[in-house]
């Protein structure tokens, strides 16, 4: 099937399912996964006027992708303040983080759903001169529309796992159709580049991982000093960005360690803060006493677990926690970015399900900058070992930090490559 036929099929199907998608968006709004006040943006209705002059549209699907883009947008803004930078994301959480951390001059909108009407309205209003698409969030309608309108589009920080590559290889014509519209592709690793070439991308540049170059997560200095005073005398560790099913494993590890360290405090930062009360109930059923940050509660001597169920404070918890377990890795979720705690000097641990960070996690293990724990037995054993061998804990933390900050020049290289696709000021 030719490119035109695929586009016609997308448009016809999209118009047919548009009413169902509108109902789906309303349902997501009711359960807190959409911003009711900004729901029209998801249907392509702009929330802001388009400034005059050139505009670069950058898309990062969720928290990790958008957070990795922010330093690049900062560099682009500093080098070309005459260009408007529009950043789209698809989740409420990522929108809140962008509002806190984006550089001056960066506009945020929710990405339109991949239907003809919303996409047409979005592109008709914003009229981007260049588009930066991040990682592997491929939307056929949007990408084909950009190609049809001859808007140059770059795939940056491109990621392609072996599993995804095999899946796309089963649909070779569709893969080529999706990927042919990119004027240039900048891959995170040599492995990502090789997989993209297998799918028919003729030229892929191995540029490095933007997440390596991200600045340390921010922190309020007053909060940091206050919490260090509160917790100075207690051994503690952090389970960060946890998902359902992981907190009970963390609780089991805590219980096993408590015999050797009776004053141990475990911190849990759930990936979705609204799960805080649910987690507290699970822990109570296991005989553990927990308190929640969302209720402005403070851990005392009887507290086993402190649940930091608020948004945007990982920079605080990473700085006060000498040992950090990355959530999403004890269950088959794919893990979360281990570079963030490593960059701040924590000894990092993760489970075996790090397939969203395959190369990063493997490289950290090879460099001695992380510890893999396949199950709760290994987690408890390694935690005890690290608590009781401060020298080994520090060695792992130092190696992880060295790896995490080793690719900082990617921002300069990639910003120059992006601006080369635009006319000079």
Per-residue pLDDT of the chain (425 residues; tens, 9 = 90+): 444 677 787 778 877 888 899 899 999 999 999 999 999 999 999 999 999 999 999 999 888 888 889 999 999 999 999 999 999 999 998 998 888 888 788 999 999 999 999 999 999 999 999 999 998 888 889 999 999 999 999 999 998 988 899 999 998 888 888 888 899 999 988 899 999 999 988 889 999 888 788 788 999 999 999 999 999 889 999 999 999 999 999 999 999 999 899 999 999 999 999 999 999 999 999 999 999 999 999 999 999 999 999 988 999 999 999 999 999 999 999 999 999 999 999 999 999 999 888 888 999 999 999 999 999 999 999 999 999 999 999 999 999 999 988 766 789 889 999 999 998 87
Collapsed DSSP state (helix, strand, coil) of residue 225: helix
Question: Residue 35 to residues 24, 86, 100, 294: CA-CA distances in angstroms?
Answer: 13, 18, 16, 20
> Of 79, 126, 125, 127, which Cα lies nearest the Cα of 103?
79
pLDDT at residue 331, as a whole number: 97
**Cβ neighbours, 10 Å, residue 220:** 12
pLDDT at residue 215, as a whole number: 81
Q: Chain centroid to CA 339: how far? A: 11
Residue partners of 121: CB distance under 8 A and separation at least 6: 43, 44, 45, 46, 112
pLDDT at residue 73, as a whole number: 94
Query: Model pTM greater than 0.85?
Result: no
Q: How does pLDDT run across 361-415, given as a tens digit for each residue?
A: 999 999 999 999 999 999 999 999 999 999 999 999 999 999 988 766 789 889 9
Question: Residue 201 to residues 145, 172, 175, 191: CA-CA distances in angstroms?
Answer: 19, 11, 9, 14
Q: How does pLDDT run across 118-132, given as a tens digit for each residue?
A: 999 999 999 999 999
H-run or E-run covering 257:
helix 247-258
Active site residues: 65
Angle between helices 410-419 and 63-79 (to 10 degrees): 70
pLDDT at residue 100, as a whole number: 84
Q: Where do the domains of the chain lie, and which CATH numbers do they carry?
A: 3-209+408-419 (3.40.50.11720), 221-404 (3.40.50.2000)
pLDDT at residue 2, as a whole number: 46
pLDDT at residue 176, as a whole number: 87
Q: How does pLDDT run across 162-192, given as a tens digit for each residue?
A: 889 999 999 888 888 888 889 999 998 889 9
pLDDT at residue 4, as a whole number: 66
Q: Bin 312: left if φ > 0, else alpha if -120 < ψ < 50, else beta.
A: left
DSSP 89: E
Alpha-carbon gap, residue 151 to 131, rounded angstroms: 7
Alpha-carbon gap, residue 99 to 120, rounded angstroms: 26
pLDDT at residue 407, as a whole number: 63
Q: Could you tell me how many residues make up the chain?
A: 425
Q: Chain centroid to CA 64: how far? A: 1
pLDDT at residue 64, as a whole number: 82
Collapsed DSSP state (helix, strand, coil) of residue 237: strand
Q: Which two tokens stand for residue 398?
A: 């130092």
């Amino acid at each position: 099937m030719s490119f035109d036929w695929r586009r016609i099929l997308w448009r016809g199907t999209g118009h047919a399912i548009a009413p169902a998608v509108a109902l789906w968006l309303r349902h997501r709004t009711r359960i807190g996964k959409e911003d009711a006040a900004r729901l029209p943006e998801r249907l392509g209705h702009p929330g802001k006027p388009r400034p005059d002059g050139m505009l670069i549209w950058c898309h990062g699907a969720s928290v990790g992708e958008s957070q990795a883009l922010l330093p690049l947008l900062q560099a682009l803004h500093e080098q070309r303040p005459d260009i408007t930078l529009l950043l789209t994301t698809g989740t409420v959480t990522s929108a809140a983080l962008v509002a806190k951390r984006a550089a001056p001059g960066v506009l945020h909108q929710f990405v339109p759903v991949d239907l003809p009407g919303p996409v047409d309205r979005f592109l008709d209003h914003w009229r981007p001169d260049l588009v930066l698409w991040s990682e592997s969030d491929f939307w056929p309608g949007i990408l084909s529309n950009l190609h049809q309108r001859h808007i140059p589009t770059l795939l940056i920080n491109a990621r392609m796992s072996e599993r995804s590559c095999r899946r796309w290889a089963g649909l070779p014509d569709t893969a080529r159709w999706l990927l042919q519209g990119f004027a240039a592709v900048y891959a995170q690793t040599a492995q990502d580049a090789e997989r993209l070439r297998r799918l028919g991308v003729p030229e892929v540049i191995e540029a490095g991982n933007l997440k390596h170059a991200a600045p340390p997560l921010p922190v309020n200095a007053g909060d940091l000093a206050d919490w260090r005073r509160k917790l100075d005398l207690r051994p503690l560790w952090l389970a960060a960005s946890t998902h359902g099913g992981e907190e009970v494993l963390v609780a089991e590890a805590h219980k096993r360690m408590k015999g050797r360290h009776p004053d141990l405090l475990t911190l849990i930062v759930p990936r979705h803060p609204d799960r805080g009360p649910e987690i507290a109930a699970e822990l109570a059923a296991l005989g553990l006493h927990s308190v929640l940050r969302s209720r402005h509660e403070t851990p005392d001597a009887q507290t086993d677990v402190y649940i930091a169920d608020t948004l945007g404070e990982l920079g605080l918890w990473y700085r006060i926690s000498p040992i950090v377990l990355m959530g999403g890795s004890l269950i088959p979720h794919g893990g979360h970015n281990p570079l963030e705690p490593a960059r701040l000097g924590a000894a990092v641990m993760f489970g075996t399900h790090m397939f969203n960070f395959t190369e990063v996690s493997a490289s950290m293990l090879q460099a001695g900058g992380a510890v893999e724990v396949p199950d709760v037995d290994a987690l408890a054993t390694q935690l005890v070992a690290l608590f009781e061998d401060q020298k080994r804990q520090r060695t792992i933390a130092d190696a992880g930090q060295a790896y995490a900050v080793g690719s900082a020049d990617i921002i300069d290289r990639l910003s120059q490559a992006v601006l080369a696709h635009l006319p000079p000021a």
